[in-house]
Amino acid sequence: MMDGSHHEKRRLENPPATIKFKIQRREREGAPSRYETFELQYRRNLNVISALMEIRKNPVTVEGKQTTPPVWDMSCLEQVCGICTMVIDGRVRQSCSALIDDLLLASGGDTITLQPMSKFPNVRDLKVDRSRMFGHLKQVQAWIELDGTYDLGPGPHIPNEIAQERYAYSRCMTCGCCLEACPQYDGDNYIGPQAIAQARLFNMHPTGRITEEERLNGLMGDDGITNCGNAQNCVKVCPMNIPLTKAIYETNRDITVDALFGWLKK
Amino acid sequence: MRSPSSESPRRIGSDQILGMATGSKIAIVGGGLAGLAAAMKIAEAGHEVDLISVVPVKRSHSVCAQGGINGAVNTKGEGDSTAKHLDDTVYGGDFLANQPPVKRMCDMAPQIIYLFDRMGVPFSRTKEGLMDFRRFGGTLHHRTAFSGASTGQQLLYALDEQVRKWEVAGKVNKYEGWEMLSLVLDDHQVCRGLVAMNLQTLELKSFAADAVIMATGGPGLIFGKSTNSMTCTGSATAACYQQGARYANGEFIQVHPTSIPGEDKLRLMSESARGEGGRVWVPKADGDTRNPRDIPENERWYFLEEKYPAYGNLVPRDIATREIFQVCLEGHGVAGENQVYLDLTHIPAEVLTERLGAILEIYEMFVGDDPRFVPMRIFPGVHYSMGGLWVDFEQRTNIPGLFAAGECDYSIHGANRLGANSLVSCVYGGFTAAPSAIEYAKNIERGRTETNGIHASELRRQQEINDAIIKGSGGENQYKLHEELGKVMTDNVTVVRYNDRLQATDDKIRELQERSKRISINDSNLWATQAVPHARQFQNMLELARVITLGALNRNESRGAHYKPDFPERDDDTFLKTTIAEYAAEAPVLSYEPVDISLIQPRKRDYSSGKKTSPPGTADRPTGVKETRPNDPANKEEFGVKE
CATH (domain of B284): 3.90.700.10
pLDDT at B352 over 80: yes
**CB–CB of A134 and B56 under 8 A?**
yes
Both B193 and B284 in one domain: the answer is no
How distant is the Cα of B620 from the closest Cα of chain A, in angstroms? 23
Looking at residue B273, its pLDDT comes to 95
pLDDT at B642 over 50: no
Looking at residue B562, its pLDDT comes to 98
pLDDT at A117 over 50: yes
Mutate to test the interface with B, among A125, A151, A160 (most CBs of B within 10 A): A160
Looking at residue B231, its pLDDT comes to 98
> Domain boundary at B401, B424, B443, which?
B443
Whether A24 contacts A33, CB under 8 Å:
yes
How distant is the Cα of A74 from the closest Cα of chain B, in angstroms? 7
Question: Is B608 among the domain residues?
Answer: no
Question: Is B149 among the domain residues?
Answer: yes
Per-residue pLDDT band for A258 (boundaries 50, 70, 90) equals confident
pLDDT at B5 over 50: no
Both B406 and B307 in one domain: the answer is no
Residues near A6 by Cβ (< 8 Å), separated by ≥ 6?
A: none
Cβ contacts of A174 on chain B, cutoff 8 Å: 56, 58-59
**CB–CB of A143 and B164 under 8 A?**
yes
B415-461 per-position pLDDT tens digit? 999 999 999 999 999 999 999 999 999 988 765 555 569 999 999 99
**CB–CB of B530 and A56 under 8 A?**
yes
How distant is the Cα of A196 from the closest Cα of chain B, in angstroms? 15
How distant is the Cα of A182 from the closest Cα of chain B, in angstroms? 23
**CB–CB of B368 and A49 under 8 A?**
no
Q: Can you state the percent helix, strand and coil of chain B, rounding each to 5?
A: 40, 15, 45
Count of structural domains, chain B = 2
> Domain boundary at B401, B421, B443, which?
B443
Both B247 and B265 in one domain: the answer is no
Both B240 and B308 in one domain: the answer is no
Per-residue pLDDT band for A56 (boundaries 50, 70, 90) equals very high
Q: Chain B contact for A1, CB < 8 A?
A: yes
B281-324 per-position pLDDT tens digit? 999 999 898 999 999 999 999 999 999 999 999 999 999 999 99
Whether B210 contacts B444, CB under 8 Å:
yes
Q: Chain B contact for A115, CB < 8 A?
A: no
Q: Chain B contact for A153, CB < 8 A?
A: yes
pLDDT at A221 over 60: yes
pLDDT at A109 over 80: yes
Element holding B248 (H helix, E strand): strand B247-248
Which of B264, B291, B479 lies closest to A1 in CB terms?
B291
Mutate to test the interface with B, among A65, A77, A145, A212 (most CBs of B within 10 A): A77
Q: Residues of B numbered 48-87 whose beta carbons fall under 8 angstroms of chain A's beta carbons: which are they?
A: 55-56, 58-61, 63-64
Question: Which chain A residue has the Cα nearest residue B265?
Answer: A77
Both B182 and B37 in one domain: the answer is yes
Looking at residue B23, its pLDDT comes to 84
Q: Tell me the mean pLDDT in the region B76-99.
A: 97
Q: List domains and CATH numbers for chain A.
A: 18-128 (3.10.20.30), 131-265 (1.10.1060.10)
Question: Is B579 among the domain residues?
Answer: no
**CB–CB of B527 and A28 under 8 A?**
yes
Cβ contacts of B161 on chain A, cutoff 8 Å: 137, 142-144
Going from the C-alpha of B538 to that of each of B180, B236, B482, B542, the distances in angstroms are 14, 11, 7, 6
Cβ contacts of A71 on chain B, cutoff 8 Å: 528-530
Which of B118, B154, B370 lies closest to A7 in CB terms?
B370
How distant is the Cα of B404 from the closest Cα of chain A, in angstroms? 21
Tell me the ipTM for this assembly: 0.96
B19-73 per-position pLDDT tens digit? 334 589 999 999 999 999 999 999 999 999 999 999 999 999 999 999 899 999 9
Both B397 and B374 in one domain: the answer is no
**CB–CB of A97 and B366 under 8 A?**
yes
Which among B524, B515, B531 is positioned nearest to B479, based on CA atoms? Answer: B531
pLDDT at B624 over 90: no
Question: Is B470 among the domain residues?
Answer: no
Question: What whole-number distance in Å separates Cα of residue B255 and Cα of residue B321?
Answer: 7
Both B159 and B91 in one domain: the answer is yes
pLDDT at B565 over 50: yes
What number of H helices and E strands is found in chain B?
A: 17, 21
Q: Tell me the mean pLDDT in the region B363-385.
A: 95
Both B340 and B432 in one domain: the answer is no
Residue range(s) defining the domain that contains residue B125: 15-256+384-443
Looking at residue B617, its pLDDT comes to 38
Q: Residues of A numbered 50-109 whose beta carbons fall under 8 angstroms of chain B's beta carbons: which are they?
A: 50, 53, 56-59, 68-69, 71, 73-83, 96-97, 99
Q: b or e along B169-202 (b: 16 or more beta carbons within 10 Å of the residue's beta carbon)?
A: bbbbebbbbbbbbbbbbbeeebbbbbbbbebbeb
Both B138 and B262 in one domain: the answer is no
CA atoms within 13 Å, Cβ hemisphere of B41:
25
Which among B162, B26, B130 is positioned nearest to B436, based on CA atoms? Answer: B26
Residue A243 backbone class (left: φ over 0; alpha: ψ -120 to 50; beta: rest): beta
Looking at residue A13, its pLDDT comes to 87
Q: Tell me the mean pLDDT in the region B474-502.
A: 97
How distant is the Cα of B555 from the closest Cα of chain A, in angstroms? 33
Cβ contacts of B345 on chain A, cutoff 8 Å: none
CA geometry: angle at A255 spanning A250 and A259, to 5°?
A: 150
**CB–CB of B128 and A170 under 8 A?**
no
Q: Tell me the mean pLDDT in the region A121-129.
A: 98
Looking at residue B368, its pLDDT comes to 86
Q: Tell me the mean pLDDT in the region A88-110.
A: 96
Cβ contacts of A58 on chain B, cutoff 8 Å: 477, 522
> Domain boundary at B327, B350, B380, which?
B380
Per-residue pLDDT band for B105 (boundaries 50, 70, 90) equals very high
Q: How many CB pairs under 8 A join A and B?
A: 212
Question: Is B558 among the domain residues?
Answer: no
Which of A1, A75, A130 lies closest to B231 in CB terms?
A75
Q: Residues of B numbered 507-536 whose beta carbons fall under 8 angstroms of chain A's beta carbons: which are they?
A: 522-525, 527-531
B365-369: long-range pairs with CB below 8 Å, 24+: B365/A79, B365/A97, B366/A47, B366/A97, B366/A99, B366/B260, B366/B262, B366/B267, B367/A9, B367/B260, B368/A8, B368/A9, B368/A11, B369/A7, B369/A8, B369/A9
Both B271 and B213 in one domain: the answer is no
pLDDT at B519 over 50: yes
How distant is the Cα of A11 from the closest Cα of chain B, in angstroms? 9
Q: Residues of B numbered 140-199 whose beta carbons fall under 8 angstroms of chain A's beta carbons: which are they?
A: 147-148, 150, 153-154, 157, 161-162, 164-165, 167-168, 176
**CB–CB of A58 and B477 under 8 A?**
yes
Looking at residue A265, its pLDDT comes to 61
Strand partners, B389: B247, B409
Q: At what angle do helices A193-203 and A160-170 cross, to 10 degrees?
A: 150
Both B274 and B245 in one domain: the answer is no
Looking at residue A6, its pLDDT comes to 61
Looking at residue B592, its pLDDT comes to 98
Which of A69, A123, A155 lies closest to B522 in CB terms?
A69
Question: Is B475 among the domain residues?
Answer: no
Cβ contacts of B268 on chain A, cutoff 8 Å: 78
Question: Is B489 among the domain residues?
Answer: no
Looking at residue B370, its pLDDT comes to 94
Higher-pLDDT residue of A221, B629: A221
Question: Which chain A residue has the Cα nearest residue B524?
Answer: A68
Question: What whole-number distance in Å separates Cα of residue A184 and Cα of residue B254?
Answer: 48
Q: Which of B135, B267, B317, B629 is the catalytic position?
A: B317
Whether B61 contacts B231, CB under 8 Å:
yes
Both B139 and B216 in one domain: the answer is yes
Percent of chain A surpassing pLDDT 90: 89
Looking at residue B632, its pLDDT comes to 36
3-class secondary-structure state, position B29? strand
pLDDT at B636 over 80: no
Question: Is B106 among the domain residues?
Answer: yes
For the question of residue B621 being annotated catalytic, the response is no
Question: What whole-number distance in Å separates Cα of residue B43 and Cα of residue B41?
Answer: 6
pLDDT at B6 over 80: no
Segments in chain A forming alpha helices (H): 48-57, 100-107, 131-139, 160-170, 177-181, 193-203, 212-217, 233-237, 244-265
CATH number for the domain that contains residue B83: 3.50.50.60
Write out A65-124 in H/E/C secondary structure: CECCCCCCCCCCCCCCCCCCEEEECCEEEECCCCEHHHHHHHHCCCEEEEECCCCCCEEE
